Structure 1
Amino acid sequence: MSKANYPLDRTAYLLVDPYNDFLSEGGKVYPLIEPIAATVGLLDNLRALDRAVRALDIPVVIVPHRRWEQGDYENWDHPSPTQCKVMHMHHFARGEWGGEWHPDFAPKDGDIVVQEHWGSSGFANTDLDFRLKQKGITHVIIVGLLANTCIEATARYASELGYHVTLVRDATAAFKPEMMQAAHELNGPTFAHAIVATDELIAALARQE
């Protein structure tokens, strides 16, 4: 059980990359994460967390990856391996179904949708830190995709910026079990203040009322 405290007026829920390509059957990346997503109950856990944080008026912040457009990454000096893959596979293409929000996790009125990140970190070259600071946020709960890339990079950056960071091990997924293990058992404990399961986090949040 998590012992972390979550001041409700200073906590934000960061949902990273809730695109159809990641979370919906027929998405370009979904087949790669589906085995682990099914094992951990990813979609149901994200739904449960969405209900819980909204019931407590915790701000929901959508942290989206750059939606691919024609010409992206071409002629760059050194695009990352992931950016090269996006360039060839057209993940999260703007204007296409795969680049639209999964219907269960689309932004609602009052949600914050920050600038799209080009790499893995939701903070690098975006307005995420600025938007959080304008709301007095000190604690961030980070969920979504992928555990060992965008979630880890965003969480590491948050820790460097001084935020209290919570990872939710069954509200994310990755391509391989080894990647999940690295994210939550090897790397996560070096920067995250809490690494919890969905039910543990919901109970911890309920105690703050």
Structure 2
Amino acid sequence: MSHLSYRAESTALLMVDPYNDFLSEGGKVWPFIKDIAEEVGLLDNLRTITQAVRAAGIKVVIVPHRRWHPGDYECWCHPSPSQQKIMQGRHFAAGEWGGEWHPDFAPQPGDIVADEHWGSSGFANTDLDLQLKQHGITHVAVVGLLANTCIEATARYAQELGYYVTLIKDATAAYRQEMMRSAHELNGPTFAHSIIDTREFIALLPQG
């Protein structure tokens, strides 16, 4: 566990892809992550974290995936396997319930909502880096879905851009346990400055 403390004026919580399709009963992806999500207490941990960071005056940044629109990816030269799954399953469809925010994690006044990312990284081809820098952010804590895809890609990119990166390992989920292990025990330590759980993160926050 890091001895770092997070300053409100320079820290942001990156909430990645908080859509109904991921986080709600009836969502298209929820059945595939439900077991691990319930095992780690994902929803309760996300609620605890968002409440605590707001109380501490820390900026919440929504980092949303591209909402599927008819025709997306169909004529691309090199859609990724994940993009092909989104195309086939019509995940996070624009104008549909699955593409709406989970009600507990919808943006609130003062939050930042970054441009939607087409791939796994919340930084690639979006305004996320610009938004963070314009708000004086140097430290990011990354939560949401999925641990080994969008969370890992966004956190890796953040480190490459010079941010101090924290992964909160029980505030994410994946399809399988080996994917969680890879994200937090194998790959995460190569780029993340701190890999902690919800309880440890909360203890490091400034008092609101």
Please confirm whether the aligned pair reaches a TM-score higher than 0.5, indicating the same fold: yes
- Measure the CA separation in 2 of the matches of 1:168 and 1:42: 10
CA distance in 1, matches of 2:7, 2:106: 25
Classify the secondary structure of the residue corresponding to 1:78.
Answer: coil
Classify the secondary structure of the residue corresponding to 2:186: helix
CA-to-partner distance for each residue in 1:13-62, whole Å, 9 max, x for gaps? 10000000000000000000000000000000000001100001100000
1-side partners of 2:105 and 2:148: how far apart?
Answer: 21
Question: Do 1:20 and 1:99's aligned partners in 2 also have CA atoms closer than 8 Å?
Answer: yes
Question: Does the 8 Å CA contact 2:142/2:155 hold for their aligned counterparts?
Answer: yes
Q: Answer yes or no: is 1:164 the counterpart of 2:146.
A: no
Residue pair 1:141, 1:166 contacting (<8 A) in 2 also = yes
1:66-122 Cα shifts (integer Å, max 9, x gaps): 000001001110100010111110000000000000000000011100000000000
Deviation at 1:4, TM superposition (A): 1.8
Partner of 1:154: 154
Q: Distance in 2 between matches of 1:75 and 1:65?
A: 19
The CA distance in 2 between the partners of 1:21 and 1:41, in whole Å, is 18
Alignment of 1:27-176 (within 5 A): 27-176=27-176
Whichever residue aligns with residue 82 of structure 1, its letter is: S
State the shift of 1:2 in Å: 3.3
Deviates more, 1:34-43 or 1:2-11: 2-11
Contact kept? 1:20, 1:98, Cα under 8 Å? yes
- Aligned residues between the structures: 208
- Given that 1:2 and 1:201 are in contact with CA atoms closer than 8 Å, whether structure 2 keeps it comes out as no
Structure 1 counterpart of 2:26: 26
1:197 corresponds to: 197
The sequence identity of aligned pairs, in percent, is: 72
* TM-score w.r.t. length of structure 2: 0.98
Taking the aligned partners of 1:159 and 1:37, their CA distance within structure 2 comes to 26
How far apart, in 2, do the equivalents of 1:140 and 1:63 lie? 12
TM-score, reference length from structure 1: 0.98
Which amino acid is 2:34 matched to? E
Question: Residue 43 of structure 2 aligns to which amino acid in structure 1?
Answer: L
- Contact kept, 8 Å, 1:148 with 1:174, in 2: the verdict is yes
Tell me by how many angstroms 1:5 deviates.
2.4
Structure 1 residues without counterparts, runs of 5 or longer? none
Superimposed CA distance per residue, residues 129-176 of structure 1 (whole angstroms, 9 cap, x where no aligned partner): 000000110000000000000000000000000000000000000000
1:12–1:59 Cα contact (<8 Å) kept = yes
How far apart in 1 are the matches of 2:5 and 2:190? 19
1:7 is aligned to 7
Q: Contact conserved, 2:8 with 2:59, CA < 8 A, in 1? A: no
Q: Is the 8 A contact 1:61 1:114 kept in 2?
A: yes
> Could you tell me how far 1:6 is from its partner in structure 2?
1.4
Runs of 4+ that moved beyond 3 A: none
